[in-house]
Amino acid sequence: MTAPLTRIRGGVHTPVAHDSAHTHVTGAAHFVDEHPTVPGTLDAALVLSPHAHARIAAIDVCRALAAPGVVAAIAAGDIPGRNDIAPIRSDEPLLPADLVTCDGQPVVAIAADTLDQARAAAKLVDITYELLPAVLTIEQAMQREDYLVPPQTIARGELASGFSQAAHRLGGEVRCGGQDHFYLEGQIALATLGENGDMHVLSSTQHPNEVQRGVAHLLGLPMAAVIVEVRRMGGAFGGKESQATLIAGIAAVLAWKTRRPVKLRLPRDDDMRATGKRHPFIIRYDVGFDAEGRILALDMTLAANGGNVADHTPAVVTRALCHADNCYWLPNVRLTGLACRTNTVSNTAFRGYGGPQGMLAIEAVIDAIARTLKLPVESVRARNFYGRDHNNVTPYRMVVEDNIITKVVDELDRAVDLKAWRADIDAFNARSPVLKKGLATMPVKFGISFNRPALNQAGALINVYTDGSVLLNHGGTEMGQGLFIKVAQVVAEVFQIDIDCIRLSATSTAKVPNTSPTAASAGSDLNGMAALAAAEQIKSRLIELAAAHFDVPAKEIVFNANRVYAGNRSISFAELTALAWDRRVSLSAAGFYRTPKIHWDHATASGRPFYYFTYGAAAVEVAIDTLTGESRVLRAELVQDCGRSLNPAIDLGQIEGGFVQGMGWLTSEELWWDDSGHLRTHGPSTYKIPGSRDAPPVFRVRTLDEAPNREETVFRSKGVGEPPLMLAIAVWLAIRDAIAAVGPAGRVADLDAPATPERVLAAIDRMRGVDRG
């Protein structure tokens, strides 16, 4: 007799609710600001630079220190250790000593008994500046050749030969703007000085290890003397990967100086002025192609506005170059990436990390080719898709081994009947003089892993108790994306116990050291595998114990449905754990995982930066008003590759949320600086993120069936945090399609992103040849 096959509650591949769903909607979830504080805790406020570029001539904090409740003020000279919080390179100060290099840069911080007192005192700080010329645009930086790092190039083949064989040649330029993360919970940290000068920091961060390292440098401490903890964030999207170190660092220096706990939380306006955003890009291309639209040569430059310091910009540019091929074989290609230095806030990681900009670039090229040749864009794409056994090497020399893009695109076509849909659009446009509709599709091939191989590692710690309950800790962070519940499902599956038996603990550098950021869509891959490794260690010990207990070979022991079986005999999982304690068998294990196969040579810009690719496709219908330039997404049909999803419900939320966030980037979210370098869109009154009414009325998501990951990921799942955002490029392409409906065939809509009403109306005028002066 064998163990009955019974499913546990909450194992892998099942739609389990987010572990904090109930507490989120009831308000019971504790974020950093809800953490109880001890008497004597101080609140902090920042003094931000009002200039894009200036020399600091003098700082006078006397009036601020004399204000009610004020305990301390700090500037660069008050930092006891090294004034550098650069995440990748160096020379990125917490507070500037001599020069401010962007509007909104923190210069002074105040600590007071109350938040109101701190913010009032911050207005009393007197700083004398000597204004300097500012570089505010990508074009200005390119003209000066002012780059944060030397230009990067990925190349293959012979451009001259490719262009000579091309029957057609086009050149063009397209621009895409930045995007604020606009997380619901702003940047915040609570720093507490411990005995022996140790520092404990509660931080809203995706990268506890980065905050730990930054605080240790600032205070001149070993990393072991700094503990950083985070239970959850109220959103992050990349904005709390490196930027959180700025907030935690200031709180920690103030706590060190005052010897009291200090909390620093930014109001929305300060948050938007002081922290980095998605990188704006200018893309310029020269493409040669044949009569059927096959690309024979492509010379493309992708110039990013990096802002005032490097931050993540070099890596973002690399990632953009590695996604500028999207799904297409480019036989002769040169991709050049420029990390432009400007006197605007340093741009940083954002969901997609350069991938969206790279994909938008190549899709603009494909769209231009199709319209020039008066061919369906889907046909041009298909002729350029990577092959399975040939034409399957990327410009950076990685073989695409898991190519399923044709399968994904065909699944979308079968589901929505693109030909009939296009006929409906054309019929509507023929009878509608003012409102025009557009239809576009978007394929996606997105690489999963960090481009820097060293970051592709993770650790986990699992403790099993004598009542059968399990405490799970790992290096990943929870920001609402559902990582914690997915990793818990992995552990539940290994032990074959209900998900209710597993408790989740806050991420802490004291429990799992040297963690990587929760980013790059690799959170489940990395931390799930680390937890799997830890759980398997404990399980193997329990198997040996159970085999001895039942006097059977270890291979006969079966874990199933909260019990452990040996033929027709069994004990509960809890009974076995109690027995393990009695027999002095360890019920704790640390697991470690490092992603295999990946490598990257920075000198040659080649290698295998990605373990695998996640694929997807979207079809989108929009309508535009040709009199006002307003647009509306009417219908979105998505097909997403999730491998064998660990949690279909969580993945569905990621797909829908990523798509809508991408919509915002490409339509309504416009960052605008004036001629003096002041950000004027720094709050919800001036910066428009999508609302519930902006979501498409018809919004369908399908996940690809029977498509397990060919690589040995955790239960053959795939990362889906970022790829769906790029499906929203279909929205931008559909608006371009609607604009093209007002002009002659063969014309390419001249539309940058975001496609605001002003830009749409101007593009319509250009399509019609109208000059409004």
- Which residues are known catalytic residues? 722
Triad 356, 360, 361: Cα angle to 5°: 120
Q: Are residues 362 and 351 in contact, defined by beta-carbon separation less than 8 angstroms?
A: no
CB atoms < 10 A from the CB of 201, how many?
28
The candidate with the shortest Cα–Cα distance to 285, out of 318, 332, 334, 327, is: 334
Triad 664, 32, 511: Cα angle to 5°: 105
Cα 691 to chain centroid, rounded: 20
Q: Are residues 421 and 619 in contact, defined by beta-carbon separation less than 8 angstroms?
A: yes
The candidate with the shortest Cα–Cα distance to 702, out of 621, 643, 642, 640, is: 640
355-373 helix and 313-323 helix, angle to the nearest 10 degrees: 30
CB atoms < 10 A from the CB of 302, how many?
26
The candidate with the shortest Cα–Cα distance to 728, out of 648, 616, 626, is: 616
If DSSP states are collapsed to H, E and C, what string results for 724-755? HHHHCHHHHHHHHHHHHCCCCCCCCCCCCECC
Q: Are residues 320 and 359 in contact, defined by beta-carbon separation less than 8 angstroms?
A: no
Q: Are residues 155 and 325 in contact, defined by beta-carbon separation less than 8 angstroms?
A: no
Residue 609, CA distances (Å) to 156, 324, 453, 598, 728 in order: 17, 14, 7, 5, 24
Q: Are residues 565 and 558 in contact, defined by beta-carbon separation less than 8 angstroms?
A: yes
Strands (E), 605-755: 606-608, 612-625, 631-640, 698-703
Output DSSP code: residue 482.
S
**Strand, helix or coil for residue 298:** strand
Strands (E), 497-598: 502-504, 507-508, 557-560, 563-566, 569-572, 588-594
Output DSSP code: residue 144.
H
Residue 125, CA distances (Å) to 129, 267, 271, 558 in order: 13, 18, 19, 69
**Strand, helix or coil for residue 183:** coil
CA distance 770 to 627: 13
The candidate with the shortest Cα–Cα distance to 525, out of 665, 353, 669, 721, is: 721
CA distance 241 to 207: 5
Strands (E), 116-241: 126-131, 152-156, 168-176, 188-193, 199-203, 226-230
Triad 46, 47, 53: Cα angle to 5°: 130
- Phi–psi pair at 302, nearest 5 degrees: -115, 110
